[in-house]
Amino acid sequence: MIDLNHIDDLARRLSELVPPGLRQSGEELQASFRGALQAGLSRLDLVSREEFEVQRAVLLRTREKLEALERAVAELETRLAAADGGAPGRSPH
């Protein structure tokens, strides 16, 4: 989820950029910016940092398993080729 403190900070900074003659009350302007920012961000397909880190860890474990399987297959292919006399295309059966 998006950190609301960041949205509040951004809304405050945006309201400070508005020229003094155009400013409504500071809180009202910040609330307007906050609402617009939340509405815009809610339409984006975002994940939280926690969700991202969980998926990153899953991907890392999956990659490690895949690399281990690739090494095992390569070793088995080497053994099979050696047992088969190294002739390509021959089956051990």
49: Cα within 13 Å, side-chain hemisphere: 2
Print burial letters for 41-66: b (CB count within 10 Å at least 16), e (below 16).
eeeeeeeeeeeeeeeeeeeeeeeeee
pLDDT tens figures, 36-72:
887 877 777 778 889 999 999 999 999 999 999 999 9
pTM: 0.47
Q: What's the CA gap between 59 and 54, in Å, rounded?
A: 9
Identify the pLDDT of residue 72: 98
